[in-house]
Each structure stands twice: as structure tokens, then as C-alpha cells.
Chains A and B, each alone.
Chain A
Amino acid sequence: MLIVKSLCTEYPGDRGEAVRAARDVSFAVPDGKLFTLLGPSGCGKTTTLRSIAGLEVPKSGEISLHGKVVFSSAAGVSVAPNRRNFGMVFQSYAIWPHMTVYQNAAFPLQVRRDRPDRKKIADRVMRVLSAVALDDVAERAATKLSGGQQQRLALARALVMEPQLLLLDEPLSNLDAKLRERMRFELKRIQRELALTTVYVTHDQNEALALSHEIAVMREGRIVQIGSPREIYERPCSRFVADFIGTTNFIDARVIEENGDDRCRVATPVGALDVRCLDRMHRNEAAIVSVRPEDVELSEQAPEAGGADAVRAGVVDAKAFLGEHLDFQVRIGDLVLLARAHPSLRTPVGEKIFVRLRAEKCIALRAASAGP
């Protein structure tokens, strides 16, 4: 179990001022799980990862793995990064160009204090190279590898030391889209098979959703929400999270009625809607309703309004054909909603169309905590 407790890291900015990159970051990663730090650039996710690695020395906080403290400001402990035995894959891969594939992968074993003998090193290196399907190019110069191969070599180099913890800093961001998708599955398979405790940093929400056991969304140095991929996507706790993960529609609203546990009724520019609210909300409170485009159901004939669902008539403002689906911009009064529909729906621009919003899929967020 990796435990990070109220971690604060600063670094000097361009003008010598202290930039507070990570503020009071706390989380725990159970053994064998993949934990993702997700956020826009500059949110402090990489700084947090580098603090765990020991490449940055935090200002305060505590980091421990399996009960062994590697950093603690209170106890004055700071284990050198080269003594932590954490494997790390860098964003640039950092493959040493003056070495062969084999030499790159063997380096961590060669510089160890308890350096294994030649035979053992060769064994372990070849085993890990074949795990990432690079054993047949072991003697090749590292610069001759393709992007995907370099990425796998970087992973092999991190794995060969049999690390207690694997740190991945945007490992897929330098690959092209197709390859990225394939490597995503590959990475997931290896992580699950070896049951390696892993911290993963990315700004790509799809990657985070596809790979993680748990995601922490970060913003301006702080964690704003921790949860499973499904929780984060379906029940974002703030406008920022809803906006950052996937695409969404926001509708300004005001609470007019509380209906039990997690339901309430709100007034919006398109009339009253029944929605879900995760926090307890009070009457007359300003709110924002988030609806994912795939939850905005379209039809040319008026659907029957069942129970708490709302049906509105609108006009197709614009549409874009994207192959797998079709994006519609539907105007209802002054409000424009983005809807994602099956490509078989062929309503022309300017025609009337019906929109159904299920109460289940409309999430009310507190406007005050929602941020800009």
C-alpha cells in the first residue's frame, strides 16, 4: 500500500518565487492497483509523481510504501531516488541513445549495490525483454527503435528492477492515436498480470477511464475528486470535473423543490426538470445541471413522457457526422444542447426534433462549489 499524506511541493519559478505545485495532496493506493492522477497541464500531477519518485523534495508531508517511510518532513527522512527501487517510465521515454536495447534494460541491474552476476543479469533482462516483445532486437541500437518499441523498452527498463512501485508519467502521450490505443491495452494487461502497484499520470481522460482502478482528478495542485472511473464519469462532484472528463452540457438552474434522498426539482431556461443531486441542496439554491451528450435522447416523433423524464421540442441548429456517431446541436428556446446520436438519425438542419432528458442522467451541481 502506497500512502501519500498531505504532500506539499514547491519549486522556484522563473523569477525565483515559489510555485506551489502540489498542495495538501493525500491518497492511498492498495497493493496491485493502478491509481491515476488526472488533470489539465499545470495541475500538479507530474510534480506529485516526481515527489513520490524522489526527484522533487516536497516541502512537507509523508510518503510511505508497505509501511516503510521514504519521505517525511516531520521525521526528516528523505530516501534518495536511486535508493527507493521505484520503476519509472518517463514521458520522453528517456532511452539512452548511446546504448543498445539490451544495455538500456540491463543498466538498472548493473548499477545496483547488490549487483547480480552476468548470467543472472542476462537472464532477467531477456525475460523482461521477451515480455514486451523486444527480445529479437536486443542487440539493436536504441535509437533504431520505433516510438512504440521505445515505449516498451522504457517499460522493460522500469520492470527489470522488479520495483515495489511503478510510476508512469504520461507514457502514451508521445504515440500516435492508433498505437496509443493498442499500448493502452498492453499496459493494462502487464499491470494486471504482474499485479504491480502503479501510479499513472495523464491528462487524457480516455486513458484514465480505460486503465485505472481509481482516479484522482487534480486542479491547481489539489485533488478535487477521487473515485472509480464510473463514479468520476457518472457522478462528477463539480463543474470542473464534469467539464474535464468527457463532454457535457451545462444548464443554469435554481432548486425549487427537494424530493427525498438524491432527487430534486429545478427551474431552468427550458422549464422545470427533475434531476439527481449528489450533495444535499436547498430550496432557491443556484445550481448547474450537467447532461452528457449521449444522454440527450433525440427522436423525430414525440416520445411518451414517462415519470420524471422531461420531453422538449427543439430545432436542429447544426450537425456533424463523425462516423461512429452524429453530433447534433439542438436549440430549445435560447438554450443549445449538444446531443450524440446514432448515425441512422437523419433529421435535416432546421427541422423540428424532440429531446428527452432522463432525470437519472441529469446531475445537479452546486453552483457555488462548481467554480468557473
Chain B
Amino acid sequence: MSRTAALLASSMRLPLPEARWLVIGAAVALAAWLALAPLGFLLWQSLFTPETATAPGEFTFDNYRTAYWSAETLRLLGNSAAFAAGSASLAFVVGTFFAWINERTDTPFKSAFFALSLVPLIIPAILFTVSWILLASPKIGIVNVAVQALFATDFVVADIYSMGGMIFVDGLHQSPLAFLMMTAAFRSMDPSLEEAALMCGAAAWQIALRMTLKLAWPAAAGVFLILFLRAIESFEVPALLGLPVGIEVYTSSIYQAVQTYPSDIGLASSYAAALLVIASLCVYAQSRTAVAAEKFSTVTGKGFRPRTMRIGRWRYVTALAFALYLAIVVVLPFLVLLWCSLQRFYVAPSVAALKDLTFDAYRAVFAYPVFANAVWNSLVLSAASATIVALTTAVLAWIVVRTRLPGRWLIDDLAMLPLMFPGLVLGLAIMVCYLNIGIGVYGTLWIMLIAYVTRFMPYGMRYNSTSMLALHKELEESATMSGASWSMTFWRVVLPLLKPGLIACWLYVVIVSIRELSSSILLYSPGSEVVSIMIWEYWQNGQYVELSALGVMLIASLLGLVLLERFASRQFGVASPGV
């Protein structure tokens, strides 16, 4: 045989059969296209004037000039920064406080609190926002109505349509995520470090300040950055609470630019470019803190028993605080939606209104012409995107974790890239991309499928990489030594062993797909509505009772799915990346 053939043979780790390259090639090509094409088109679009029937798009910097060279610029940037910083701080403080209570003190009913605090993660942002409008809007908000009735004034106690209101609602909505992540941070800290301080004679508060907080610091910085990023990306809260009173942030400005007639996609794209820059800075900084946090987390899981502090009578106070928190983030919003859904038209709760309880709203939802189609679309889209994401990322994770292919880290980065796209930006980018590529997906379910697969690919990658790392590579090698080919090994050993992780991943993507609104809102058209879009339309039409009825049903079904996902995750010990 020739020398080149010998070189070729030796440069490959294993002699590779055909099937393997086909599967790997397809998965990599898919990831590359999904991650890179929309980004390219978005940047390209931001440099052109809007194309009209009479004039083609022309190259211009005007979009950037309008976006960044006006008085608006500073206001927009200021609003976005204030909103994101405020929301992230609120979520962080609340989440950290309750995580500390739950992990490090002997507060009663801790496990019940922990389970319940995960419930708000399920409630879609749009429903959470709507419920707070029903609670605290100046005109119809229950809080205001109640206070005004009680003291016979027309004083407005709480105005949700304000920067403060936006921060309050978004911060609260994100606080369970902060709670979950800080709980993980506290758990990954070696308790023996604190015990050593205890044996040195330190008091409880000294330990909390000088050990627990210091050790949790790198993780906490990472958590704050994630919260900041999510607040910057948040669309529902600024759109519902900010736009009516003219408080604009980047996401709502993008939406405005697309929705005005004629829509200014170039301008929206240049706003989106800024958002992308901010998001990538956050992701970069977060990855740096993750490296720092790694050094501090020394727990191997062996012989680990969380140590709790006795805080005496204070534990009743902390338990009460926890209960109050749960009332505010779970019970109140859900009850107000439930109440609203049982009315003919929205009225604040009263004894008189109790007599008028009716299921009419639910009937109306079922009778709504779009309903059946929207539910069907949601189901098909979520199932399809979950299946594609789970299987594709299984192959990608295999390449990254198992092979020594040069450049395999690039695959990892590609698959994680969509994490940087705020949902609205991704929707915009995909819209631009497929408006320009005439393969006929624009305006169909397909484009939404593409958006969902792109958006949730990073989550699939995380799930599958985790499970893949937990699989000893000798499990595969022993199959090879037994005489099995690559496809046989993948099919009979790798996939079955990944199954619990795959199922958890699948269910997770189904859940987030059903809730998805910010990408869909720019991509749907008549006939391709999904359930979250239907809620949005109800809101636009002012149909609050129907919205509530649909919301109650949606929350109930999401809750069922989440329980299923937790169960599947536990089966394999796969850490859920957080709902």
C-alpha cells in the first residue's frame, strides 16, 4: 500500500466505517447551519435599507446611525441597563436569601418549600406578567381596588406600569432560577471547610460571612450574570408593562421596529446587534467566573452531608418569610388567573362576584376557531423540535466527549452559540434569513421548527454532554472489542445508556417549546399560531377572562410535564439546566 494510505490510516484514531461519517457529518452540518446562517443574515440586514416593492435594499449605515447616534440611544441603553440590573439584583437577593435559608439553616418544612419554589419556574412569563397586571394595575388591579374601597380614596398604591413595576415582576419571575442556582452553589461547597472554621471557634455569623459567602462568591457572580442576561433578553415584561407607558428597552424596541408599518427590519437588526454584543459579553464573563467557581467546588459527592445551622426561634421567622414569598410568586398569581377565568368579564374578587362564577371562558376558549389548531401546532412543534434536538445533540456530544477529532471544541461552541441569541433576536435573525432564502419555509410551521431547534440546541447539548461524560468510555470500547461496529455500538450501547438523560432532555425541550413566545412572535402567521401566541392575541384583544382560562389550563399541563421531567432526570442523576 502507498505511503499516503499508511499516513491516512495512522492519522485516524480508529478505522472508520461509512455510516459513522454520514451521521456525524449530517449532525455537524445541521448545527453549523442553524447557528451561523441567521447570525450572518442578521448582520447583513442591519447594513441595508428596507427592501420595498419598488426599490431594492441599498447598503447603508443609517440603521446604526438611527439606533446609536441619537438622544434615543442613551435613553434606550439607560432603560435596558436599569431594568436588567434592577431585575437581576432583586432576583439575586431574594433567591440567595432563600437558598441560604434552605441549605444552611434548620428552618422547618424545608423540603416542601424547595419543591414548591420550583413551581413558579413553570409559569410562562406572559402569564406571570398578566397576573400582576390584574393584581396591581392602577385601574383594575385588585390591590389598588381593595385599598381604594377600604379607605374610600382614589389613591394608587401600586402602579405596575412603571420601571419599578417592571423590575418587580421580572425580578420575582426570575427569583426561583436564582434560588435554584444558588442552592446548587451552596451544595457544591465542601461543608468540611465550614466545619473547620467552626472547630477554630468561629461563630455562626462569622462562618456565614467569612466562609460561606466568600466561598460562594465566584458562583454568585456567575449567577448574577446569568440573571442579568436573562433580564436583558426578557421580552414579555417590557412589552406588556413598559410599552403602554413608553418605557422602551432593546427587546421592545426591536419588536416595535418590526411591528410598525412599514416594518423597519434594518433598524431592528441593528438594535439586535447591540443586544448580541451585550449577551456575548455576559456569556463570556460568565464562563470566566465558572472557571473560578470550579476551583472552589471540591465536593466529590462522597460522604457528603449538608450541615445546617441552628438558628433557634428565628427559624419560625424564616419559615414565615418563605411562605410569604411562595404566596407572592405562586399562589397569588395563580389564584388571580383562576378567579379571572371563572368570570364572564373581569371584576375584582368580591362576595357579589362569587355568585357569577361560570365556566363560560373555558367554553369560549374551546370554541375559539384557532384553538384546536394552535394546540395541535404546539404539540407537533414541541415534539418534533425535542426529538431533533435530543438525537442531534446526542451525536454532537459524542463527538465532543469521545473522539479526538481536531477542532471538536468548535462543534461544542457551535452548538452552544444560540445561547447568546435573545429569543426575539433569534426570531428576527431567522425571519431575515428565510425571507432571503426562498425555500418556502417563511410563514409556515417549518420556520418555527427551525427557530425552536436552534434555540434549544444548547440545552440538549448540556444534557447529553453531562450524561455522556458520566458514561465510562470503556463501556463503548468493550463493545468494540466484542466485535461490534460503530453503528451497532451507538445503537445498542450508547443510546440505551443515554436513554434516561435523553428522555429528560426531550421533556425539557417540550416544556420550553410550549412556553416559547419571544421567537415565535416574529415568525408566526395565520394558520401557524401556537398556544403562547394565542395568549398574546387574547391580550392584544383585551380578552382577559379567556386568556386566564387558557393560562390556567396551560400551567396545569406544564406542571404535569415538569413532574415527568424531574422524575426522568432523577432516574439518571442528570442535572436539569433549570426551567
Q: Which residues of A contact B (CB under 8 A)?
A: 11-12, 53-60, 73-88, 90-94, 96-98, 107-108, 111-113, 154, 157-158, 161, 167
B480/A55 in contact, CB under 8 A: yes
Count the B residues whose beta carbon is within 8 Å of the partner chain — how many?
31
B404/A78 in contact, CB under 8 A: no
A83/B483 in contact, CB under 8 A: yes
User: Which A residues are in CB contact (< 8 Å) with B18?
Assistant: none
Shortest beta-carbon distance, B230 to chain A, in Å? Answer: 33
A78/B15 in contact, CB under 8 A: yes
CB contacts under 8 Å to A, within B1-43, are 1-3, 5-6, 9-10, 12-15, 17
Show 24 A/B contacts (Cβ-Cβ < 8 Å), sorted by A.
A57-B12, A75-B1, A76-B2, A76-B3, A77-B9, A80-B14, A84-B481, A85-B483, A88-B478, A88-B481, A90-B474, A92-B474, A96-B475, A96-B493, A107-B482, A107-B484, A107-B492, A108-B483, A111-B485, A154-B478, A157-B478, A157-B482, A158-B481, A161-B483
Contacts A94-B472, A96-B493, A111-B482 aside, 5 further interface pairs with beta carbons under 8 A come to: A59-B10, A76-B3, A79-B15, A111-B479, A111-B484
Given A57-B14, A92-B472, are A77 and B482 neighbors across the interface (CB < 8 Å)?
A: no
User: Which B residues are in CB contact (< 8 Å) with A91?
Assistant: 474
Contact check: which of B3, B10, B15, B493 meets A80 at CB < 8 Å? B15
Please name the residue on chain A nearest to B6 by beta carbon. Answer: A76
Shortest beta-carbon distance, A113 to chain B, in Å? Answer: 8
Is B497 interfacial (CB 8 A cutoff)? yes
Mark interface residues in B134-151 (1 if CB within 8 Å of A CB, else 0).
Answer: 000000000000000000
User: Which B residues are in CB contact (< 8 Å) with A161?
Assistant: 482-483
Shortest beta-carbon distance, A372 to chain B, in Å? Answer: 32
Bound together, the chains give a CA A221 to CA B500 distance in angstroms of: 40
Please name the residue on chain A nearest to B7 by beta carbon. Answer: A76
Bound together, the chains give a CA A94 to CA B474 distance in angstroms of: 5
User: Which B residues are in CB contact (< 8 Å) with A154?
Assistant: 478
Is B195 interfacial (CB 8 A cutoff)? no
Which of A12, A83, A97, A107 has the most B CB atoms < 10 Å from its CB? Answer: A107
Contact check: which of A60, A75, A76, A82 meets B482 at CB < 8 Å? A82
**What DSSP secondary structure best describes chain B's contact surface?**
helix
B475/A94 in contact, CB under 8 A: yes
Bound together, the chains give a CA A92 to CA B549 distance in angstroms of: 55
User: Which A residues are in CB contact (< 8 Å) with B13?
Assistant: 56-57
B5/A76 in contact, CB under 8 A: yes
Bound together, the chains give a CA A359 to CA B40 distance in angstroms of: 81
Which of B1, B482, B493 has the most A CB atoms < 10 Å from its CB? Answer: B482
Given A90-B477, A92-B474, are A111 and B488 neighbors across the interface (CB < 8 Å)?
A: yes
Contact check: which of A12, A59, A81, A98 meets B481 at CB < 8 Å? A81
CB contacts under 8 Å to A, within B83-138, are none
Bound together, the chains give a CA A86 to CA B492 distance in angstroms of: 20
Bound together, the chains give a CA A108 to CA B493 distance in angstroms of: 12
Bound together, the chains give a CA A76 to CA B404 distance in angstroms of: 21
User: Which B residues are in CB contact (< 8 Å) with A158?
Assistant: 481
Bound together, the chains give a CA A286 to CA B492 distance in angstroms of: 61
B485/A82 in contact, CB under 8 A: yes
Please name the residue on chain B nearest to A115 by beta carbon. Answer: B483
Shortest beta-carbon distance, B479 to chain A, in Å? Answer: 7
Bound together, the chains give a CA A93 to CA B13 distance in angstroms of: 22
Bound together, the chains give a CA A211 to CA B483 distance in angstroms of: 28
User: Which B residues are in CB contact (< 8 Å) with A78?
Assistant: 9-10, 15
A81/B480 in contact, CB under 8 A: yes
Bound together, the chains give a CA A371 to CA B5 distance in angstroms of: 41
User: Which B residues are in CB contact (< 8 Å) with A86?
Assistant: 481
Is B577 interfacial (CB 8 A cutoff)? no
Shortest beta-carbon distance, A89 to chain B, in Å? Answer: 8
Bound together, the chains give a CA A76 to CA B478 distance in angstroms of: 25
Is B349 interfacial (CB 8 A cutoff)? no
9 pairs of A and B residues whose beta carbons are closest in the complex:
A76-B1, A76-B6, A108-B482, A94-B474, A94-B478, A90-B474, A111-B484, A88-B481, A80-B15
Mark interface residues in B482-500 (1 if CB within 8 Å of A CB, else 0).
Answer: 1111001000110011010
User: Which A residues are in CB contact (< 8 Å) with B499?
Assistant: 98
Bound together, the chains give a CA A77 to CA B6 distance in angstroms of: 7
B2/A90 in contact, CB under 8 A: no
Shortest beta-carbon distance, B72 to chain A, in Å? Answer: 48
Contact check: which of B1, B472, B483 meets A82 at CB < 8 Å? B483
Which of A75, A78, A112, A154 has the most B CB atoms < 10 Å from its CB? Answer: A78
User: Which A residues are in CB contact (< 8 Å) with B483?
Assistant: 82-83, 85, 108, 111-113, 161
Contact check: which of A55, A57, A85, A93 meets B10 at CB < 8 Å? A57
B497/A96 in contact, CB under 8 A: yes
User: Which B residues are in CB contact (< 8 Å) with A59?
Assistant: 10
Shortest beta-carbon distance, A115 to chain B, in Å? Answer: 10
Shortest beta-carbon distance, B7 to chain A, in Å? Answer: 8
Contact check: which of A85, A90, A98 meets B496 at CB < 8 Å? A98
User: Which B residues are in CB contact (< 8 Å) with A112?
Assistant: 483
Given A111-B482, A157-B478, are A81 and B14 neighbors across the interface (CB < 8 Å)?
A: yes
User: Which A residues are in CB contact (< 8 Å) with B472?
Assistant: 92, 94
CB contacts under 8 Å to A, within B442-482, are 472, 474-475, 477-482
Bound together, the chains give a CA A75 to CA B1 distance in angstroms of: 6
Please name the residue on chain B nearest to A59 by beta carbon. Answer: B10
Please name the residue on chain A nearest to B499 by beta carbon. Answer: A98
Shortest beta-carbon distance, A342 to chain B, in Å? Answer: 40
Shortest beta-carbon distance, A273 to chain B, in Å? Answer: 49
User: Which A residues are in CB contact (< 8 Å) with B477?
Assistant: 53, 55, 81, 88, 90, 94
Bound together, the chains give a CA A83 to CA B493 distance in angstroms of: 18
User: Which B residues are in CB contact (< 8 Å) with A111?
Assistant: 479, 482-485, 488, 492
Bound together, the chains give a CA A93 to CA B484 distance in angstroms of: 17
Bound together, the chains give a CA A81 to CA B144 distance in angstroms of: 74
User: Which A residues are in CB contact (< 8 Å) with B17?
Assistant: 80
User: Which B residues are in CB contact (< 8 Å) with A108?
Assistant: 482-483
Please name the residue on chain A nearest to B476 by beta carbon. Answer: A94
Which of B13, B17, B477 has the most A CB atoms < 10 Å from its CB? Answer: B477
User: Which A residues are in CB contact (< 8 Å) with B6?
Assistant: 73-76
User: Which B residues are in CB contact (< 8 Å) with A77?
Assistant: 1, 9
Bound together, the chains give a CA A73 to CA B488 distance in angstroms of: 28
Bound together, the chains give a CA A154 to CA B482 distance in angstroms of: 11
Given A57-B14, A82-B484, A111-B484, are A90 and B478 neighbors across the interface (CB < 8 Å)?
A: yes
User: Which A residues are in CB contact (< 8 Å) with B492?
Assistant: 107, 111
User: Which B residues are in CB contact (< 8 Å) with A93?
Assistant: 474
Bound together, the chains give a CA A86 to CA B482 distance in angstroms of: 8
Please name the residue on chain A nearest to B495 by beta carbon. Answer: A98
Please name the residue on chain B nearest to A106 by beta carbon. Answer: B482
Please name the residue on chain A nearest to B498 by beta carbon. Answer: A98
User: Which A residues are in CB contact (< 8 Å) with B488?
Assistant: 111
B14/A97 in contact, CB under 8 A: no
User: Which B residues are in CB contact (< 8 Å) with A97?
Assistant: 497
Please name the residue on chain B nearest to A54 by beta carbon. Answer: B14
Please name the residue on chain B nearest to A80 by beta carbon. Answer: B15
Bound together, the chains give a CA A125 to CA B493 distance in angstroms of: 19
Please name the residue on chain A nearest to B475 by beta carbon. Answer: A94
Bound together, the chains give a CA A84 to CA B480 distance in angstroms of: 10
A98/B15 in contact, CB under 8 A: no
Given A81-B481, A82-B484, A82-B485, are A12 and B2 neighbors across the interface (CB < 8 Å)?
A: no
A82/B481 in contact, CB under 8 A: yes
Bound together, the chains give a CA A7 to CA B493 distance in angstroms of: 31
Bound together, the chains give a CA A107 to CA B492 distance in angstroms of: 10
Bound together, the chains give a CA A20 to CA B139 distance in angstroms of: 76
Bound together, the chains give a CA A97 to CA B498 distance in angstroms of: 11
Shortest beta-carbon distance, B28 to chain A, in Å? Answer: 20
User: Which A residues are in CB contact (< 8 Å) with B15?
Assistant: 57, 78-80
Bound together, the chains give a CA A334 to CA B291 distance in angstroms of: 51
